[in-house]
């Protein structure tokens, strides 16, 4: 049975991805940090022997221990979805250094930690696919989101570099920009949602089911690597 690990799996997009991969026959490794109750609730709705991981992706030691747990208890890894992210929004001149560090630590260093520690298991499984979840803020920037935009822009460069580096091992690496989704972080920011609708060519928010469908398709597709896929066009 193929195995997928989704970091930040209890969020709006992550939980939908977990259910979609489970429906396609994957064993889902559900990662959470603080939301353990939500994680257990998510696991209860999955059928294919899901596995729970809890830890801080920004802490290299914790991620190393998580990787050892998956190797010991699950035995393989085919797909890694780097989805865990936080945002702390404020104008740059009033932006706390601690908030900057927290966002970069989770959104960028977290991807570095997860990729570096889980790739050996993927290599041992015969290859696979890494999908990094980025954002339109990383492409165009957004006022009040200096740290978030910087982290998501850096993720695109990391994706392209890793695609070149990991290709010899049969590992594809791509980034997906799902658009502004009215779930999770997005649902908590009504003004941002209004702005996203105005910026959209189609005049509407992105659809979570469309993003999930594309990402599960990408995970099982060979020969595509080093690409950035914006799923909802913007003006």
> pLDDT (tens digit, 9 = 90+) per residue, 44-59?
999 999 999 999 999 9
CA dist., res. 169 & res. 152, Å (int): 25
- Residue 114 CB contacts under 8 Å (≥ 6 apart), including other chains: 5, 7, 57, 63, 80, 82
Among 177, 235, 227, which residue's Cα sits nearest to residue 206? 177
Using an 8 Å Cβ cutoff, are 76 and 121 in contact? yes
Give the lowest-confidence range in 8-17, 131-140, 159-168, 219-228.
131-140
Higher pLDDT, 192 or 227: 227
Asked if residue 41 is part of any domain, the answer here is yes
Is 81 contained in some domain? yes
In a domain, 90, yes or no: yes
**pTM, to two decimals:** 0.90
Round to whole Å and give the CA distance between 51 and 42: 11
pLDDT at 139: 86
Q: Using CA atoms, how far apart are residues 143 and 227, in angstroms rounded to an integer? A: 26
The CATH number for 51's domain is: 3.40.50.720
Q: Band the pLDDT of 185: cuts 50, 70, 90.
A: low
- Domain residues for 126? 3-226
Average pLDDT of the segment spanning 69-92 = 96
Identify which of 179, 231, 222, 209 has the alpha carbon closest to the alpha carbon of residue 19. Answer: 209
Distance CA(101)–CA(204), nearest Å, equals: 33
Mean pLDDT (whole number) for 206-225: 92
Tally of domains in the chain: 1
In a domain? residue 176: yes
pLDDT top residue among 226 and 141: 226
More confident residue, 49 or 197: 49
Residue 203 scores a pLDDT above 70: no
What is the reported pLDDT for 183? 55
Nearest alpha-carbon partner for 125 in 164, 75, 64:
75
If you compute the radius of gyration of the chain from its CA atoms, what whole number of angstroms results?
17
Comparing 79 with 192, which gets the higher pLDDT? 79
Task: Establish if 232 belongs to a structural domain.
Answer: no
- Overall average pLDDT of the 89-113 stretch: 95
Least trusted range by pLDDT, from 148-157, 204-213, 224-233: 204-213
* Residue 36 in domain: yes
User: Is position 114 within any domain?
Assistant: yes
Write down the catalytic residue from 26, 51, 136, 148. Answer: 148
User: Is 180 a catalytic site residue?
Assistant: no
Answer yes or no: is 181 within a domain: yes
Q: How confident is residue 201, by pLDDT bands cut at 50, 70 and 90?
A: low
The pLDDT assigned to 235 comes to 40
**Are the beta carbons of 107 and 85 closer than 8 angstroms?**
yes
With contact defined as beta carbons under 8 Å apart, do 110 and 35 qualify?
A: no
- Tally of helices (H runs) and strands (E runs) in the chain: 9, 7
């Amino acid at each position: 049975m193929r195995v997928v690990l989704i970091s930040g799996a209890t969020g709006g997009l992550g939980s939908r991805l977990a259910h979609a991969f489970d429906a396609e026959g994957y064993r889902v490794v559900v990662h959470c940090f603080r939301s353990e109750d939500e994680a257990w609730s998510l696991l209860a709705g999955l059928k294919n022997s899901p596995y729970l991981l809890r830890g801080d992706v920004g802490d290299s030691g914790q991620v190393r221990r998580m990787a050892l747990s998956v190797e010991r208890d699950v035995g393989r890894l085919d797909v890694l979805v780097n989805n865990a992210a936080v945002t702390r929004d404020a104008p740059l001149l009033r932006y706390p250094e601690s908030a900057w560090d927290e966002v970069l630590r989770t959104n960028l260093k977290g991807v570095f930690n997860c990729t570096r520690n889980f790739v050996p298991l993927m290599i041992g499984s015969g290859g696979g696919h890494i999908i990094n979840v980025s954002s339109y803020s990383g492409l165009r920037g957004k006022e009040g989101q200096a740290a978030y935009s910087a982290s998501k822009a850096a993720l695109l460069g990391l994706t392209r570099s890793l695609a070149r580096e990991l290709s010899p091992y049969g590992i594809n690496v791509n980034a997906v920009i799902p658009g502004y989704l009215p779930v999770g972080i997005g649902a908590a920011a009504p003004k941002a949602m209004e702005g996203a609708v105005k910026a959209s060519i189609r005049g509407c928010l992105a659809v979570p089911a469309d993003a999930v469908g594309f990402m599960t398709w990408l995970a099982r597709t060979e020969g595509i690597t080093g690409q950035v896929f914006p799923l909802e066009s913007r003006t």
